[in-house]
Amino acid sequence: MTKRSRFLGGARILPPPVGKGMSASDLMDKSFLAYNAGRLREGARLLAERMLAPDATVGLSLTGALTPAGLGVSCLVPLLKAGFVDWIVSTGANLYHDAHFGLGLPLHAGSPFMDDRALREEGVVRIYDVLFSYDVLLDTDAFFRQVLDLPEFQAEMGTAEFHYRLGAYMAKRERALKAGEVSLLAAAWRYGVPVYTSSPGDSSIGMNIAAMRLDGKGVKIDVALDVNETAAIVYAAKRNKGKSAVWILGGGSPKNFMLQTEPQIQEVLGLDEKGHDYFLQVTDARPDTGGLSGATPSEAVSWGKVDPDKLPDTVVCYLDSTVALPLLCAYAFDRAGKRPLKRLYDRRAEMLDRMTRAYRRKVDAEAVTRKREVSR
């Protein structure tokens, strides 16, 4: 008999029959054994066993129309409430459509195979198979313009502060409607989770901000502050002897904005760092087309975005986020329990000050070195 190969050390593929009453987490552990199911199981274990450890700071990026599909209510709000997400980078569109739920405006299940000309005639808007009245957009716009006209929004601020202030009004509307916890923005305000938007002008929220600016009113967004605050979150996590975990749903600009925190620390500020420790992505994008959405964690190592020593702690699931997210949530709640809230929103100034002082010490040290070299 030949010696057993070292490559055959994995668990034998011989799952038990799928039966009645099996939980989602047990199904994943016992039946998701190969191909993208296998990667989803690996991702779920990475999330529950390592990323959700108390010493890890978890950043979540959101791309694609997730909130219109109800995933804000079913998954994102519970994740924040349980302390499983510490900071967020989202498209503005996800936050805009999240507001429909907080305002009690209904969205309906439909079909992707409809005559869009007929929908347009009847004032119905379609996001694939999600349908809602055009009045939902108008009512949401009216809410944002009303809020943006308030005195506290006549200032310059980063998107974390902007969304936090919006979240307070969304939570107030939730309570008035007795809707329960249905808004991601309200939950972020309630649980102290900073929410950033990498492209503030690229959504209906940004469009309403722009409309207000035509009258010389409304908020001015400080994008440079966003870049520095997000980098400071990661810097603080690592300097406190903790880990930085990134959980990426989709790709696009939010993915890059979350990952660029490490190049900002290392390349631009020149501070000693190695990269994020844990990387979990759900995407349907291929790596060979050159788009950032499909870029692998291995490629991210070359940019300094991911610690090269932590590549075994990276998982990419090639799957639709609307399928993967509820399963990952179910697994995490079954296997990880709860975590204390970090309330990073309240610590933004402290974290930014820490990184700023480290940067200035580095700049001052370099100036002294140059002066000595010139005097030789």
Query: Which residues are catalytic, by number?
Result: 305
What is the Cα–Cα distance from 24 to 74, expressed in whole angstroms? 15
* Strand 124-127 versus strand 130-133 pairing type: antiparallel
Which parts of the chain fold into alpha helices (H)? 24-31, 35-46, 71, 77-81, 92-102, 116-121, 134-148, 159-177, 184-191, 204-213, 223-239, 252-259, 261-263, 297-302, 321-336, 348-375
Q: Which burial class, exposed, middle or buried, applies to 197 when counting CB atoms under 10 A from its CB (0-12, 13-18, 19+)?
A: buried
Give the sign of the dihedral formed by CA 233, CA 283, CA 158, CA 167.
negative
Distance CA(109)–CA(259), nearest Å, equals 34
How far, in Å, CA of 207 to CA of 333, rounded?
A: 37
Identify the helix (H) or strand (E) that includes residue 128.
none
- Give the position of tokens 């990419």: 316
Torsion from C-alpha of 341, 342, 348, 349, nearest 10 degrees:
110
Reading the block at residue 18, the tokens are 């799928």
The answer to whether 62 and 250 are in contact (CB under 8 A) is yes
Q: What are phi and psi of 359, to 5 degrees?
A: -65, -45
Question: How large is the C-alpha radius of gyration of the chain?
Answer: 23
Eight-class DSSP state of 47: I
Print burial letters for 276-300: b (CB count within 10 Å at least 16), e (below 16): bbbbbbbbebeeeeeeebbbebeeb
Tell the burial category of 241 from Cβ atoms under 10 Å away from its Cβ (0-12, 13-18, 19+). Answer: exposed
